[in-house]
Amino acid sequence: MKARNISVPAAVVVAVAAAAGGAWWLYISRADAERVVTTEHAEAELVAARDAIAPGQSLLVALRLKAKPGWHTYWRNPGDSGQPTSIEWKLPVGFSAGAIRWPVPQKFAVGPLANYGYEDEVLLATEIRVPADANGRVTLAARAKWLVCDPDHCIPEEGDLSLALPVARGGPSKWSPKFDAIGLPQPAPKTWKLSARREGERVLLEGDGVNEPALLFFPYEEGKVQHAAPQPLERTATGVRLAIPISTQPVGEFTRLSGILVAGGRGFEIDVPVQK
């Protein structure tokens, strides 16, 4: 259950490097291999969008978490069960970390229940703020904890991760394209006029100007909606109406529809007051 660092025999690294051609590969491969923590059900490492740390700037650093095929990790609201991945940063003096920028999750049916999370690989990016007097070589460290589940089992895992980078202006790293491809939720289109009201055991989200054939709402908070229940969508004269079943055991007042609306593979952040 404990995370362990894999150590790739130097001969393998050299062989890979030779096959790939060039001393540059040798350096990168060895550095990567030592940074990756491999557990029974996942691999994890810290990756940065740039190849150096610029003083006084912000840098995006992500936990790259890859679950084994058939296994998944969790979003900020895990759904009916499970646990969000957490990152506890250990940074040099003067550095600070923001909150995780959660990519748009997937919904997994688990019998009559549902979970929200990520299959395969996810990059959980965080903005690291760098002090103006940073210099030399800096090590960013973190303890990451994640719950990884398949439909039958759940395993808590963790890893102590670190990433050393030089302080310099630098440029985009080899991970930069993956950062660009992170499916972060976007602001809702300006042409959408959203309103919500409670009707019986459902919240009806009216989307005037919304012309999507399918919508799915992911709430930021637990205890608001029935995660596993279908959300029927109907057309109206001016757009669409999405019916979202309220939790049978609600936690707190349901005053805002706050979360992500997924349409056509893209996620839009919404925060709409719920009229009684």
Residues that bind another protein (CB under 8 A): 80-83, 109-113, 115, 147, 149, 152-156, 201, 222-223, 226, 228-230, 245, 248-251
For the chain, list the strands marked E by DSSP.
4-5, 37-38, 42-48, 58-67, 72-79, 86-90, 96-97, 106-110, 113-119, 121-129, 137-149, 154-166, 186-187, 193-199, 202-208, 216-219, 233-235, 239-245, 256-263, 266-275
- Backbone φ and ψ for 259, nearest 5 degrees, come out as 165, -145
Is 217:241 a contact under the CB 8 Å cutoff? no
CA distances from 71 to 81, 145, 152, 200, 204 (A): 15, 15, 10, 37, 33
Least distance to another protein, CB of residue 142, Å: 17
Nearer to another protein, 111 or 265 (CB): 111
Nearer to another protein, 3 or 53 (CB): 3
Least distance to another protein, CB of residue 21, Å: 45
Nearer to another protein, 238 or 255 (CB): 255
Least distance to another protein, CB of residue 117, Å: 12
To which residue do tokens 């840098």 refer?
Answer: 59
Nearer to another protein, 219 or 267 (CB): 219
SS3 177: helix
Nearer to another protein, 198 or 266 (CB): 198
Is 62:125 a contact under the CB 8 Å cutoff? yes
Nearer to another protein, 7 or 249 (CB): 249
Least distance to another protein, CB of residue 197, Å: 20
Least distance to another protein, CB of residue 200, Å: 11
Least distance to another protein, CB of residue 4, Å: 18
Least distance to another protein, CB of residue 133, Å: 37
Residue 17 has which token pair?
């490097």
**Residues of the chain by 3-state class (helix, strand, coil), percent to 5:** 10, 50, 40
Nearer to another protein, 6 or 251 (CB): 251
Please, what sign has the CA dihedral across residues 216, 220, 224, 226?
positive
SS3 88: strand
